[in-house]
Amino acid sequence: MQDFTAARTSDTPDELWLVEHAPVYTQGQAGKPEHLLNPGNIPVVKADRGGQVTYHGPGQVVAYVLADLRRNGRFIKELVHQLEEATIATLTFYGIDHACRKAGAPGVYVPLQGELAKIAALGIKVRHGCTYHGVALNVDMDLSPYDGINPCGYAGLRTISMASCGVKAGWEEVASTLAGQIIERCGLWVK
């Protein structure tokens, strides 16, 4: 992502990368070591995105958004809002119709037993007006690695997946739906 962003010109089309990672904790630039409670055998990788620590693993769709904000006059807060909207629309498509934002805490949440549980983490980096990193949506995954961290720097924050909300959908299907929503809502200039 860094190499792609560094090599971009004003004519480089935007790209959307959809990936599924092996188990890994990523710690953002503001990441504090006290939020790593018990990483066990899961590697911890420093990332140059915003935010604290999160987990990526099998069964999670990670959508990396490589966009030129300057090309269409957008600001990072707009893109974050649009990524959250795209994720909420994806969840609504699958029948999770109470997904929402949480003030001051980027990402997407679902009401669960009187509190908000995080279903999608979001972290973006902007360099020379271009973005990379993106959003990670929990589809059908082992959620126990979240017990080894304070997700996104919040002690006791519950995490949830689409599967634990009763959705039976495969990774590729959800990735395709999320990609369509991101392209539609985020104004990506793709070929």
Q: Which residues are catalytic?
A: 152
Cβ count within 10 A of residue 68: 21
162 neighbors 96 (Cβ within 8 angstroms):
yes
**H or E element, residue 178:** helix 171-186
Q: What angle do CA 150, 16, 70 make, to 5 degrees?
A: 95
191 exposed, middle or buried (CB, 10 Å; 0-12, 13-18, 19+)?
Answer: exposed
